Amino acid sequence: MRKILIVDDDQKTRALLKTYLEKNQYEVRLAHDGESFTAEFERYRDELSLVILDVMLPDTDGFALCQMVRKRSSVPIIMLTASSDETDRIVGLEMGADDYIAKPYNPRELLARIKAIHRRTGGDSAAPPRYFRFLGFQLDVVERTLTDPAGESVKLTGLDFQLLKFFLEHPGEILDRNQLAEETRGRDAGPLDRSLDVQVSRLRQRLNDDGKQPALIKTVRGAGYVFSAEVSVAHA
């Protein structure tokens, strides 16, 4: 059974989420502030399949907890916020969150997001590789860092990381826009939605991949994109 850790300062919300998710076959651990969350996280870190962070907490905020988690684990993170400001969403994703839901939300929507993340991360009990290497680059999926052939760090946002990781998990495969949008944003790309193309263009810039004649991430007209470099993996 997958184990989820939730921090929210509202007792009623915590109880409702716990009841709802347990009915859907998840094991749920709860925390009411940053201190209790940190204690629960350290206790169950290696068993967690997902972390849900409320942005507003009495003793800290979800962004600080997101940074803490990302330094110690690659466990997926969903952030919850009552703010309508899109800046919160952007900040959370850049700090390493995998998804974001604004309050108030329907528990069914949260469940759908949880299932989507678990589909993306897979249910294989075998330890996934930690490192992906290609053309001198190395992606560390635990530290969520990318280094270039010279050993210099390459800045990645949360969305950059998700997109690159998915490409590296499927080298040589043509990935359509809907697949990529589902992996990075949890939904299909509409026919007029160009944000995915902008995201791919930005990732190419991070990799110094010529946008006019890309060698790493190639456009397959009418089909999607393909990561064309050879990729190797390692666990340590």
Q: Is the pLDDT of residue 15 over 70?
A: yes
Average pLDDT over residues 212-221: 88
Q: Which residue has the higher pLDDT, 175 or 93?
A: 175
Residues contacting 194, CB < 8 A, separation 6+? none
Kindly tell me if the per-residue pLDDT of 233 is higher than 70: yes
Identify the structural domains of the chain with CATH numbers, from first to last.
2-121 (3.40.50.2300), 131-234 (1.10.10.10)
Q: Is 202 helix (H, G, I), strand (E, B) or coil?
A: helix
Q: Report the C-alpha gap between 141 and 131 in whole angstroms.
A: 6
Distance spanning both ends of the chain, measured CA to CA: 27
Say how many CA atoms lie within 13 Å of 182 toward its Cβ: 13
**Average pLDDT value for residue range 68-93:** 80
pLDDT band of 21, cuts 50, 70, 90: very high
Instruction: Evaluate whether 224 touches 177 at the Cβ level (below 8 Å).
Output: yes
